[in-house]
């Protein structure tokens, strides 16, 4: 069936609600828009199902949510039978448009298939969903979120019984089930009052917070300075407000102030252009507050509270944003330093990072005799490693992190966790505060010891079918261009992860390793219409590294 035929079916079929059909009738003269909405179905990427809210097979709406859920339900039934149906699926959602509706549609479709569904009374964080899957003994979990994407997006991420996002093999098998569904009218649904749908009480929240608090290393330091060190926190209109403030308060951080303008859920994310803690602008209000009260630390989390951004004072007293590589490296250094006496009793203590994350953390880990393992981009692969370590009993997981502001300390969750990260970042800041230092100064100490490392990310947004074709063309050009030098530095090795190297799954990622230890990686985003270019450079002198990095960026972006 052509995309035009599918469009006509959605427009004329009374199975689809009146609002949906009217939305589609309004674009009847816009063939490009019709094609973009119907030329394909939404697909699972590194972050699951994600797309613009609207009518169409290539949009996220109650019908594509039902279809994805029916495919998941069929996979559970075929794979796990009655046991899977009884274990059930726990569902959480964030503060985005339609998130509650999509959560309920997911629960109703699962219940109609005879599968238990557990839902919360309100929004919850992604890391709590990851925790709840194992805490409740569920076969799977679903979180409705588009993470840090713009307001017009929403998404649907699936977790398996280990608490981690489904790995590519399972995702492909679920998609196979989803792709078998051609007739939306065949998808079962039921009422919200179905006895298989259970509303969770707050005991899961408490269990999650208690698990997070167990990751505290230096309670003595918190007891000493937790009342005086000033913290400003912003949930950027998302799910992090209650759990992070609760965790900080319960361990002893009492001087915490929330950004009032960004405290409450807001689907428009009206105070920011993008609800992304990677963007300095989301901290504008917080920084103004900090200038007034002299805050020592500013923390911000994205809408589903799995990413954390950080603002600290530099040596001049100015507030500066630390990037994900810097925060991750600081955490590696802090956690390993504070746990160094425990390391000798652990079996192969290990940290895990992604292939596009700074090598500084790996260098720090090596100095402590700790292994650093690399995974593909996407925290699902880090969560997968935790499960492997537990099954094989051959390694001890210390922490995992990625350059895109995601960190996990401990194994209570199997995804990046903004709650535990905010807690450990605050503890780390307290440690330096007690020494009369800021986290910025702590980072300079790390550079002084291990060398100066700097990274940069350049993204190009290319929307629609044409954009996708351009991204594919660019990847092909880089793959076949036989680049010998970048910024006049010899390319020592080209890692093409599409070939399935380093015991990693096949993935459309290229990484150029240069002879001085610098590197460049190129990949299409799995969650947005973007192609991403990652750059890493290191040396002893900051000015030389900064200059060389800019040469690399200029040359590759020109190409």
- The residues assigned a catalytic role are 147
Work out whether strand 297-301 and strand 319-322 pair parallel, antiparallel, or are unpaired: unpaired
Q: Which residues pair with 494 in a beta bridge?
A: 512
First-to-last alpha carbon distance for the chain, in angstroms, is 39
How far apart are the C-alpha atoms of 277 and 17, rounded to whole Å?
37
Counting DSSP H helices and E strands in the chain, the numbers are 19, 22
Q: Which of 527, 497, 529 is nearest to 512 (CA)?
A: 497
User: Residue 257 in contact with residue 232, Cβ under 8 Å?
Assistant: yes
Q: Which residues pair with 397 in a beta bridge?
A: 350
- Residues 113-129 as b or e (16 or more Cβ within 10 Å = b): bebbbbbbeebbbbbbb
Cα angle, residue 70 at apex, residues 160 and 57 outer, rounded to 5°: 110
User: Residue 147 in contact with residue 48, Cβ under 8 Å?
Assistant: no
- The stretches of 113-147 forming alpha helices (DSSP H) are 126-135
Find tokens 């002299």 and name the residue: 294
- Residues 465-495 as b or e (16 or more Cβ within 10 Å = b): eeeeeebeebbeebeeeeeeebbebebeeeb
DSSP conformation class of 488: T
User: Residue 361 in contact with residue 324, Cβ under 8 Å?
Assistant: no
How far apart are the C-alpha atoms of 282 and 506, rounded to whole Å?
35
How far apart are the C-alpha atoms of 425 and 216, rounded to whole Å?
10
H or E stretch covering 143: strand 140-144
Q: Which of 327, 421, 372 is nearest to 412 (CA)?
A: 421
Residue 521 φ/ψ, nearest 5 degrees: -125, 145
DSSP conformation class of 306: -
- The stretches of 57-199 forming alpha helices (DSSP H) are 62-87, 99-112, 126-135, 168-179
Q: Which of 407, 114, 176 is nearest to 398 (CA)?
A: 407
Region for residue 410 given its phi and psi (left: phi exceeds 0; alpha: psi -120 to 50; beta: otherwise): left
Q: Can you give the C-alpha Rg of the chain in angstroms?
A: 23
């Amino acid at each position: 069936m052509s995309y035009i035929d599918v469009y006509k079916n959605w427009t004329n079929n009374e199975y689809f609600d009146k609002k949906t059909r009217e939305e589609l009738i309004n674009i009847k003269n816009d063939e490009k828009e019709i094609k973009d909405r119907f030329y394909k179905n939404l697909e699972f990427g590194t972050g699951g199902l994600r797309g613009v809210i609207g009518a169409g097979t290539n949009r996220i709406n109650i019908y594509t949510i039902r279809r994805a859920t029916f495919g998941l339900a069929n996979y559970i039934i075929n794979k796990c039978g009655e046991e899977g149906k009884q274990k059930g699926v726990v569902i959480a959602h964030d503060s985005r448009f339609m998130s509650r509706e999509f959560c309920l549609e997911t629960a109703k479709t699962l219940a109609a298939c005879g599968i238990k569904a557990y839902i919360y009374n309100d929004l919850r964080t992604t890391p709590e969903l990851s925790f709840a899957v194992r805490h409740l003994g569920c076969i799977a979990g679903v979180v409705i979120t588009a993470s840090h994407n713009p307001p017009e997006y929403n998404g649907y991420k699936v977790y398996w019984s280990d608490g981690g996002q489904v790995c590519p093999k399972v995702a492909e098998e679920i998609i196979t089930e989803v792709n078998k569904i051609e007739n939306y009218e065949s998808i079962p649904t039921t009422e919200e009052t179905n006895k298989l749908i259970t509303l969770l009480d707050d005991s899961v929240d408490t269990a999650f917070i208690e698990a997070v608090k167990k990751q505290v290393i230096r309670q003595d330091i918190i007891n000493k300075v937790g009342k005086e060190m000033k913290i400003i926190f912003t949930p950027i209109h998302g799910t992090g407000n209650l759990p992070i403030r609760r965790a900080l308060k319960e361990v002893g951080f009492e001087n915490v102030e929330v950004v009032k303008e960004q405290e409450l859920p807001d689907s428009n994310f009206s105070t920011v252009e993008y609800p992304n803690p990677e963007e300095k602008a989301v901290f504008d209000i917080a920084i103004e507050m900090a200038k007034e009260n002299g805050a020592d630390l500013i923390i911000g989390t994205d809408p589903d509270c799995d990413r954390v951004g950080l603002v600290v004072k530099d040596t001049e007293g100015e507030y500066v944003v630390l990037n994900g590589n810097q925060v991750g490296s600081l955490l590696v250094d802090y956690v390993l330093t504070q746990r160094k006496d425990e390391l000798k009793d652990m079996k192969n203590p290990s940290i895990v990072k992604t292939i596009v994350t700074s090598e500084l953390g790996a260098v720090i880990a090596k100095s402590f005799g700790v292994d650093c393992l690399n995974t593909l981009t996407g925290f699902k692969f880090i969560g997968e490693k935790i499960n492997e370590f537990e099954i094989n009993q051959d390694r001890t997981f210390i922490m995992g992190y990625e350059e895109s502001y995601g960190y996990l300390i401990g194994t209570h969750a199997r995804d990046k966790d903004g709650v535990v990260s905010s807690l450990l970042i605050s503890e780390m800041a307290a440690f330096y505060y007690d020494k009369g230092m800021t986290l910025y100064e702590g980072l300079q100490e790390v550079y002084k010891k291990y060398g100066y490392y700097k990274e940069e990310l350049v993204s190009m947004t290319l929307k629609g079918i044409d954009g996708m074709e351009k991204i594919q063309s660019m990847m092909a050009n880089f793959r076949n261009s036989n680049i010998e030098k970048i910024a006049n530095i010899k390319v020592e090795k080209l890692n093409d992860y599409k070939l399935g190297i380093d015991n990693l799954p096949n993935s459309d990622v290229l990484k150029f390793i240069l002879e001085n230890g610098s590197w460049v990686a190129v990949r299409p985003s799995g969650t947005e219409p973007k192609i991403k270019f990652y750059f890493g450079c290191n040396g002893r002198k900051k000015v030389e590294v900064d200059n060389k990095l800019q040469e690399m960026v200029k040359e590759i972006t020109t190409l």
